[in-house]
Structure 1
Amino acid sequence: MRVLYFAWLRQKVGVAEEEAAPPADVRDVAGLIRWLAARSPGHAAAFADPRQVRAAVNQEFATPDTPVAPGDEVAFFPPVTGG
């Protein structure tokens, strides 16, 4: 699974992208966030408030219950406002 981080999430995690192999019980975006948050202090800081994180799975906006699988591309980014 390819995981991408944008904006302040990238700063907190310390990388723009990484390859991840979560365990089989990680089946959705919410589970992936919980698993990633346990990987390092930077990950924990990035996902400290999951309500402030948006996700896309395979370049489609995703909700916490969106399924994830090996081979997916999952991107995390802050909420975006337009004007």
Structure 2
Amino acid sequence: MGMQTAPMTTRSRSLWETVAANVRAEAARRGYTASSLARELGMNRSAVQARWVGDRQWQLEDLERVASLFVMEPADLLAWAPWGSNPQPTD
């Protein structure tokens, strides 16, 4: 007998879309915008903005710094969460 999988009810997303969504969600929980996160990390605002919206991938070194700022493990930023669960702070 073959193994059946449950149909997906949400669109699949890439690891990097997941990371971007998780960074946005955690930033929102802590009151950061893309601009304020960039300042706190000492990064260029446009570089953070591109990662924030998923146009560019977060580099591992940057994720380590983000996770440290958020007092969490970098792996926590890689975990999938349903699409509707990540608030989108405005900038």
TM-score w.r.t. length of structure 1: 0.28
TM-score w.r.t. length of structure 2: 0.27
Higher strand share: 1
